[in-house]
Structure 1
Amino acid sequence: MKVYTSTSPAPNPRALAIILKIKGIEPEWIEIDMLKGDNRAPAYKAINPAGQLPCLITDSGFAIAEVSAIAEYLDEIKPDPSLGGNTAEERAETRMRVRQMDYWIIAPFMNGFRHGAGKDFFAGRIPIHEGLSEPSFAMAEGGMAWLDKQMAGKTFMCGERLSYADPIFFGMMEFGAALKMGVSPTHKNLTAYMERLASHESFGQ
């Protein structure tokens, strides 16, 4: 098993590194210089046409992109510990939470960054739309306010069960915090949740 990744600050490679640590899987790591744009170069896009990181290559040579898809594949080949869930309901809950995060928080958050503070870096890599950043961040903030309420009384995103939803959210918000764009302290449940994850042995750098 090989994983194409980047050690540059990036939320998705960070999330997968946490997942692999929890699962106790040590792949062959292949570094792609994202800052130089090597993930958009023809050589890498021949492996992952989306040009995104990370990307896992199975022993048979099949390429899997997207952290949630990789996490579910890893559960299939190494069920213990499961990060998707041990029952149909648990697996559905994990997918539900990830989809909610993607739609209401992560996608708008990244749009806010790419078309705002990060536009100089992303110019030439994606079309930049002036004026998109502020409403995107507003949407992400609304999503976090909603999620903060859902987290009341919960240890992890799926209650008392650690799932791959947790590294995905943590990786994104850790990245945001480094840019002064992380979880607002007004979201007390999410703030406490991030602190719990940061102290978890598998989430340390």
Structure 2
Amino acid sequence: MKLYTSPIGPSPRSAKILFSLKDIMPEIIEVDILRAENRQTEFLSINPAGQLPFVVTEEGITIAELSAIAEYLDEIKPDPSLSGLTATDRAVTRMRMRQCDFLIFAPMVLGYRHGEGRRFFDGRIILHDEVSAPAKLIAQEGLAWLDPLLEKQDYICGDMLTYVDVIFYTTLAFFDKQGQSIDPSLKNIAGLMARLDTHDVLGKGA
């Protein structure tokens, strides 16, 4: 299996952690996103979406998106599970992943790309001056929505670490340094981040 990735950004860090948690050692292929290597024809012939990270299976199938990668790793090596042990567990994991994607991660990314990251993304995507501020507010609203759901549990999906926690941790840690810090009043999210900071794998960034 090949893992196409980059040393830059939260998603490549998530992928590295996921593989480490599963104790799977892929062939690493680093892509130079600073030189827009991921936008070149040769790269797009492998992954038409142009994003990182992604894996290419032994059968030559491209799998992108962190949740899809995590679930694929669970399929080929079930223990330890990062998706959940039962059908209900896995459904909750997918639900929370979708909610975090829509309510938190996507607006955080928009806020960054159209704000602090504008210089990097200029010429790569369409940018609008008015997008960044409201997108960041939407992300904060999403975090405020999630916070009370964590009141009596250790992780986002309950008492078991899942790939949602991995993606959540790396995403918030990255954007905390990019003008989107966590509201200190969100005590449960702060507690979750503190727990993940001390995790043997996550806290060390794999």
Structures share a fold, TM > 0.5?
yes
Corresponding residue for 2:115?
116
- Per-residue deviation, 1:182: 2.9
| Distance in 1 separating the partners of 2:154 and 2:34 | 35
Corresponding residue for 2:197?
198
Query: Does the CA contact (< 8 Å) of 1:2 and 1:28 recur in 2?
Result: yes
The answer as to 2:43 corresponding to 1:63 is no
Q: Deviations over 1:13-70 (max 9, x none)?
A: 1111111111111111100011221111112111111110001010111110000001
Report the TM-score, using the length of structure 2 for normalisation.
Answer: 0.96
**What is the DSSP-based 3-state SS (H/G/I as helix, E as strand, rest coil) of the residue aligned with 2:4?**
strand
Query: Does the CA contact (< 8 Å) of 2:116 and 2:179 recur in 1?
Result: no
Within 5 Å, give how 1:127-146 maps onto structure 2. 127-146=126-145
Corresponding residue for 1:25?
24
**What is the DSSP-based 3-state SS (H/G/I as helix, E as strand, rest coil) of the residue aligned with 2:93?**
helix
- Per-residue deviation, 1:137: 0.5
Code of the residue aligned with 1:88 in structure 2: it is A
C-alpha RMSD of matched pairs (Å): 0.9
Corresponding residue for 1:3?
3
Q: Which runs of 5+ in 2 are unaligned?
A: none
| Distance in 1 separating the partners of 2:200 and 2:145 | 28
- Per-residue deviation, 1:178: 2.3
Query: Does the CA contact (< 8 Å) of 1:4 and 1:30 recur in 2?
Result: yes
What is the aligned residue count? 204
Code of the residue aligned with 2:40 in structure 1: it is A
**What is the DSSP-based 3-state SS (H/G/I as helix, E as strand, rest coil) of the residue aligned with 1:3?**
strand
| Distance in 2 separating the partners of 1:188 and 1:40 | 40
Query: Does the CA contact (< 8 Å) of 2:70 and 2:83 recur in 1?
Result: yes
**What is the DSSP-based 3-state SS (H/G/I as helix, E as strand, rest coil) of the residue aligned with 1:48?**
coil
Corresponding residue for 1:126?
125
Corresponding residue for 2:102?
103
| Distance in 1 separating the partners of 2:182 and 2:37 | 30
- Per-residue deviation, 1:184: 2.1
| Distance in 1 separating the partners of 2:155 and 2:41 | 39
Corresponding residue for 2:166?
167
Q: Percent identity?
A: 48
Query: Does the CA contact (< 8 Å) of 1:71 and 1:83 recur in 2?
Result: yes
Report the TM-score, using the length of structure 1 for normalisation.
Answer: 0.97
Q: Write out the 4+ residue segments of structure 1 that deviate beyond 6 Å after TM superposition.
A: none
The answer as to 2:12 corresponding to 1:36 is no
| Distance in 2 separating the partners of 1:101 and 1:118 | 21
Code of the residue aligned with 2:120 in structure 1: it is F
Corresponding residue for 1:87?
86
**What is the DSSP-based 3-state SS (H/G/I as helix, E as strand, rest coil) of the residue aligned with 2:28?**
strand
**What is the DSSP-based 3-state SS (H/G/I as helix, E as strand, rest coil) of the residue aligned with 2:60?**
coil
Which is worse superposed, 149-158 or 136-145?
149-158
